[in-house]
Amino acid sequence: MPSVGVKIYSVFFKLLLRHRLQSLAAGEGGADAFGVSCRPDEATAPANPAFSAADGVASKDLHIDPNSALSVRVFLPTPPPHAHLLNQRRASEPAAGAAAAPYRGYLPHAVSSPRAAASARRRLPIVVQFHGGGFVTGSNSSASNDAFCRRVAKACDAIVVAVGYRLAPESRYPAAFDDGVRVLKWIAKQANLAMMSKVGGGVDTFGASTVEPWIAAHGDPARCVLLGVSCGANIADFVARKVVEDGKLFNPVKVVAQVLMYPFFIGSVPTHSEIRLANSYFYDKSTCILAWRLLLSEKEFSLDHPAANPLAPGRGGPPLKCMPPTLTIIAEHDWMRDRAIAYSEELRKVNVDAPVLDYKDTVHEFATLDVFLKTPQAQACAEDIAIWMKKYISLRGHEFSY
């Protein structure tokens, strides 16, 4: 069972969350096409384009859509061996360094040896991460999400693109889900612009203002993994289905796997866990239903909505057998666990690699909520995700397995 401290913290967390949702519902106005991707009362962590001494991960924020609040935070792990030499060079030549490096990361083309050049050109898989928060709170720049993404980038040796999708009720369904699709298309655009701009080993000025250098120089779009946390898992699964339906729209991005961490699934017919754990820790069922009411319009509200129930009758979409390998993370004391297990079982029935990792004495968001980030379960979860993910992102084959 969770500790007494966790139980007490959970009580206050639920009271505050319900108050916030009720305030949003009471102050709800008309639709806002631009939207918001972060609440002003939530603590955020600043981006740091320099490689952190603590974890060797750099990060920066990008506003990728001028017509909406959609943004991304990009995490780049572990500088190449020559990075400290380039930093020393920039320190001694500030004017040249400022012109050559608008970000305080490393320059992949400024190398002094073939070995350094090979290191600089190495391609990293791309993990597209969707944060939790019931579609109405949370952000890609929150302190807890920033720390989690850094942990994933380090453990998986991958570029992490954390999506700051638009929140409800300012932007109702399908805004957040469309934002997920839009980010994947943006990554595809970066990859295509990078290929078009290479001329004889140099870089042409065409598209230079829109090319994201970290992704263009070091990202491998053919090894893309979707990772969703809580409600973000619903978005990840939606994006995966869109890729399966029409992969040509996302070329050269290839989604090789997805990770669903305690997905925010629900349905009109209660499962055993939804009855037994309805008043469970941090996110009880009644509060989550209120979040769904803020996301879905009154006309389309249904607990069997395609965004809420992946196994709802008549859901449509591609056959489950076409879905990418799917790792599902669940918590012992989470009322949403049964429906996540059922979805995974349906995937396995059609021969999709879809294991379930069940963590004992844990609650919803046990690996991503700020109060749990330093717990052994949270650290083990990130390591387990990395082990499984490397089956599909390793260039050397499927040498990692349980």
Catalytically annotated residues: 230, 334, 364
Instruction: Find out whether 153 and 250 touch, Cβ atoms under 8 Å.
Output: no
Question: What tokens does 11 get?
Answer: 């009580």
Q: Which helix (H) or strand (E) holds 192?
A: helix 175-197
Helix (H) or strand (E) run with residue 59 in it: strand 57-63
What is d(CA 303, CA 29) in angstroms, rounded to the nearest whole number? 23
CB 166 within 8 A of CB 179: yes
- How many CB atoms within 10 Å of residue 395? 9
Q: How many helices (H) and strands (E) does the chain have?
A: 12, 10
Q: How many residues does the chain have?
A: 402
Return the C-alpha torsion angle 35, 40, 41, 47, nearest 10.
110
Torsion of CA 137, 310, 147, 184, to 10 degrees: -100
